[in-house]
Amino acid sequence: MDIVVAGTGYVGLVTGACLAEVGHKVICVDVDEKKIGIMKKGISPIYEPGLSDLLEKNYANGNLDFTTDYEEAYRKADVVFIGVGTPERSDGSANLDYVFSVCGQIAKNITKDCLVVVKSTVPIGTNDRVEEFLRENVENNIQVEVASNPEFLAQGTAVKDTLYASRIVIGVESENAKNILMNIYKRFNQPIVVTNRRSAEMIKYASNDFLALKISFINEMANVCEIVGADIEDVAKGMSYDSRIGNKFLNAGIGYGGSCFPKDTKALHWLANDHGYEVKTIKATIEVNENQKYKLFRKAKEFFGSLKNKRVAILGLTFKPGTDDLREAPSIPNIRRMLDEGAKIIAYDPVGENNFKKIYPDEITYAESIEESIKDADMVFIFTEWEEVKNIDIDIFIKEMKTPIIFDGRNCFDLNDICEKSVYYYSIGRKTINNFIKKNLMKKNFFEGGN
C-alpha cells in the first residue's frame, strides 16, 4: 500500500516517520523545498526527541521518502494523510485554506481509488466538506473516500505519543475506510476507537478543550489559593488521589500556550457561536488563560512601579520544555510589554533562541547560560520549566543578581528549599517568600514607587 503524508510539520512528519517505523512505505510531501532537502539528509527540521533517529533509519531502509513533487506522489497513492496546519484566523475560526489546497492537488493527480485521511485538527463537518470537494473535483471514475483520524501528540513527546498512543481514533462512514485504517494501525497495537466522522472530529476538540479547561481551572484555584493563604501544589496533590480527577494537567502556571490549546479552544467556541450556542466553559477557559498570561508582569509592575531601565533576566522562551516551538508562548507578549515599559531584556533558553531571534532579532540580548542571563539583573522571570532551570542552585540568584527578585511562572522550586534564602520569590498559587525585601527594604529604596 502506498501511503502519502501531506505536510511535514509536527503532525505530518511524526505521523509519516511512525508509519514507516512500523513497516509501511511512506512518502512525505511538502511544498517547502528547503525542508525536504534537510530531511533527505536524514535531519529533522524540528526539535523533537527521537524523531531524527526515526527519519535517518527509515529513510536509509527505504520505508520513508520525502518530496516536493506532489503530482508524482499522489499519482501512486492508495492513502493520503493530510497533516498541514489549520491556523487560527483573526476571528478565532480555523483557517482551512491549506487543507483545501492539498485536496485540490489530490483531486487533480490521483489515478486510482484513494482514501484521504484528515489528521489536521478541523472543525466538525470539515471531513464531509472535504469528501464533497474531492468527489466534485476528481477526474475519471475514481472513488475517493474521506476518514477522520485526529492526532493526540504533544510536542516534546510526539514520537512516543504516536507509537504508544493512548488511543487511535478513526472516524469513518464506510466499512471500506474502516478496514483500510484498521489495517494500517493494527501494527501499532493500541486501542482503536471507531466512530463516525463528526464524532471523531469532535473527540479531538473535546479532548484538547477539556485539557485546556483543566489548566484554566487549576490556575483559577491557584489565584484563590494566593488570596486565602493555601498552597496550590498541596491542593492539587490532595485532589489527585481521587482517580476521577487524576494527577495530570494540574500544574498551575502562567497559562497554556502551544499550537493546539489556544487555537482549538477558540475554534470550538467560534464554531458553536456560529450555530447560536455559547460554550460557557470554553469561553471562561480562554478568558482565564489570557488573564493568567500576564500574571507575573502585573506582579512585577505592582512591585517596581515601573520597569523602565530595569535589567530583566528571562529564563525560558518556549511554550513548554522539550520543544523549540514558540507558538503562543507567553514569553512573546510579556517581553513586548516589558520592552514597551523600557526594560532591558537578557534572555536564555536552551533550544528556543534561534526561533526567538526571528521574532526579536535586535531588541533583546541573548545569553548563553543562566548565569550570564541573571548577572546583575534587577529581577528574573521564569517562563519555561526547563530541567536546567529547575535544577538551579538558588544561591546563584543571590550571587549573580543585582537584586535576587524572582518571578516564577512555572513553580520550579520547592518552597522548603527557598524559604530561608535571602531572596524575594513569587510563584503561582503559593506563599510569597520575601526575605530579601524584608532585610533590605529599610536600608535602601530599590523600587521606584513600588512596595
Q: Which is nearer to ligand UDX, 208 or 373 (CB)?
A: 208
What does the block give as the cell for 181?
485504517
Among 106, 260, 268, 382, binds ligand UDX (CB under 6 A): 260
Core vs surface per residue 284-308: b (16+ CB within 10 A) or e? ebbebbeebbbbbbebbbebbeebe
What is the amino acid identity at position 329? A
Task: Tell me the residue number closest to ligand UDX, measured at CB.
Answer: 9
Q: Which is nearer to ligand UDX, 155 or 285 (CB)?
A: 155
Binding mask 21-40 toward ligand UDX (x if CB under 6 A, else -) reads ---------xxx--x-----
Please indicate whether residue 28 is annotated as part of the active site: no
Q: Give the phi and the psi of residue 192 in degrees, each rounded to 5.
A: -115, 125
Q: In this chain, which stretch among 71-79, 83-91, 181-189, 395-403 interacts with ligand UDX, using CB under 6 A?
A: 83-91
Check: CB of residue 192 under 8 Å from CB of residue 168: yes
Contacts of 321 (CB under 8 A, 6+ apart): 156, 384, 385, 386, 387
DSSP letter (8 states) at residue 421: S
For residue 444, the minimal CB distance to ligand UDX (Å) is 36
Of 28, 103, 260, 412, catalytic = 260
Binding mask 149-168 toward ligand UDX (x if CB under 6 A, else -) reads --xxxxx-------------
What does the block give as the cell for 131?
469528501
In angstroms, the Cα distances linking 192 to 114, 162, 441 are 22, 13, 61
The strand pair at 433-434 and 424-426 is best described as antiparallel
If one asks whether residue 253 binds ligand UDX (CB under 6 A), the answer comes out as yes
Q: Which is nearer to ligand UDX, 7 or 50 (CB)?
A: 7
Question: How far is the C-alpha of 338 from the C-alpha of 419, rounded, in Å?
Answer: 28
If one asks whether residue 8 binds ligand UDX (CB under 6 A), the answer comes out as yes
Name which of 328, 330, 319, 315 is nearest 413 in CA terms. Answer: 315
Q: Which is nearer to ligand UDX, 96 or 437 (CB)?
A: 96
Q: In this chain, which stretch among 54-62, 82-90, 351-359, 434-442 interacts with ligand UDX, using CB under 6 A?
A: 82-90
Q: What does the longest C-alpha to C-alpha distance in the chain come to?
A: 85
Among 18, 28, 73, 102, binds ligand UDX (CB under 6 A): 102
For residue 150, the minimal CB distance to ligand UDX (Å) is 8
Give, in degrees to the nearest 5, the angle at Cα 109 between 9 and 146. Answer: 65
If one asks whether residue 215 binds ligand UDX (CB under 6 A), the answer comes out as yes
Check: CB of residue 195 under 8 Å from CB of residue 171: yes
Binding mask 290-329 toward ligand UDX (x if CB under 6 A, else -) reads -----------------------------xx---------
Q: What stretch of H or E contains 15?
A: helix 10-21
What is the amino acid identity at position 314? I
Binding mask 399-438 toward ligand UDX (x if CB under 6 A, else -) reads ----------------------------------------
Q: What stretch of H or E contains 427?
A: none
Q: What stretch of H or E contains 374?
A: helix 370-374
Among 5, 12, 233, 316, binds ligand UDX (CB under 6 A): 12
If one asks whether residue 259 binds ligand UDX (CB under 6 A), the answer comes out as yes
If one asks whether residue 88 binds ligand UDX (CB under 6 A), the answer comes out as no
> In the complex, which residues of this chain contact ligand UDX (CB under 6 A)?
6-12, 30-32, 35, 83-86, 98, 101-102, 120-121, 151-155, 208, 211, 215, 249-251, 253, 256-261, 319-320
Positions marked catalytic: 260
